[in-house]
Structure 1
Amino acid sequence: MFESIGWAEILVLGIAGLFILGPERLPSAAAWVGRSMRKVREFATGARDQLKGELGSDFDELRKPLQDLQQLRNFDPKQLVAKQLFGDDTNGVKPNGFAATQPALPPSPPPAAKPDPPRAPGDRPTIDPDAT
């Protein structure tokens, strides 16, 4: 629940609470926060269990998109680029569905152009209407 809060932040909150509430009220405030967090956690667990009981197997289908979104939260573009550039395709099928069955052949050279027939001196070259 508090994955992003480290010990340094907790220490700063404790010192701020000590200055704001004072040493006589801080223990009771910490106990109240603990009880409130426990209640919230129990409510969330109860709601999840109730949904799971009512939906049955549909609950897992409902959780799958949420798990996919959770994976997107932990998305690291550097890892994705490195995987695409340097990753090994074990089965030969790309993410877009393309499966390379054999190596690509080099392109064949274009057909050679026909040389113009020899012209007599003073003759003009023929005009290709498609080229003009």
Structure 2
Amino acid sequence: MFGLTFEKLLIIGVIAVFLLGPDRLPHYAAQLGRLVRSLRDMANGAKDRMREEMGPEFDDVDWQKLDPRQYDPRRIIREALADDPFVDAPVKPVVGRAAVGPIARLSADERAPFDSEAT
């Protein structure tokens, strides 16, 4: 959970004991417990509401596939470019202003065209 190991949690607990003191620690521990419980209830409520609104399709969704930690930006770009019909188009040289084609390569000493009407 958030990269916290048992040792790190123990250190955080020891620091909390010294900062809060033994008198106030039970009160703040109870508040933390209530916060965690309310966050868990909100997450379960959101899940139940999604299940109600999506109906039977909710169980068919592959949630692991939608996990943002599994996205590889390089793979996404590679797949998007593989579907792009202009990737294999020949490169048109830039003459004067901007090239009309989808891909224009500039030499090292050439500046990119500037569009004053672009936002």
TM-score, structure 2 length as denominator? Answer: 0.51
What is the identity, as a one-letter code, of the residue corresponding to 1:72? Answer: Q
Which has the larger Rg?
1
Q: Distance in 2 between matches of 1:60 and 1:4?
A: 29
Counterpart of 1:67?
64
State the 1:16 CA deviation.
1.1
Q: Is residue 56 of structure 1 aligned with residue 55 of structure 2?
A: yes
- Alignment of structure 1 residues 1-132 onto 2, 5 Å: 2=1, 4-60=3-59, 63-64=61-62, 66-70=63-67, 72=70
Root mean square deviation, CA, Å: 2.3
Q: Structure 1 stretches (4+) deviating beyond 4 angstroms? A: none
Gaps of 5+ in 1: 76-132
Aligned-pair CA distance for 1:3? 6.0
Q: 1:42-91 CA distances to partner (integer Å, 9 max, x unpaired)?
A: 11101101110111133245x42x41244727x9xxxxxxxxxxxxxxxx
Question: TM-score, normalization: structure 1?
Answer: 0.46
Measured in 2, the distance between the counterparts of 1:49 and 1:13 equals: 34
Higher relative contact order (CA 8 A, sep 6+): 2
Give the partner amino acid of 1:12: I
Identity %: 35
How far apart are the structure 2 equivalents of 1:45 and 1:18? 32
